Amino acid sequence: MPHLLTEDARLSWKAKALWTWLAGRPDGWVVRLSHLVTQATDGIGSVRTGLDELEKLGYISRKQLR
């Protein structure tokens, strides 16, 4: 885990934990919000805000697949 991420006070603990879980997925793994919600007790709103934090600060990038 990048030390920079763990020391970034702009990120919530939720976002740090979410990034840690995502980083453990294999290369090429497709992230689906509906799946992420089933992996913990946080609801869809909480997962969305965690992803938004990570994207806003450049830790992840997202693109919609159709």
CA distance 33 to 64: 11
pLDDT at residue 2 in the model: 62
CA distance 58 to 43: 23
Start-to-end Cα distance in the chain: 31
pLDDT band at 41 (very low <50, low <70, confident <90, very high): very high
pLDDT band at 10 (very low <50, low <70, confident <90, very high): very high
pLDDT at residue 37 in the model: 94
CA distance 48 to 10: 16
What are the structure tokens assigned to 10, written together? 């702009």
Average pLDDT over the chain reads 91
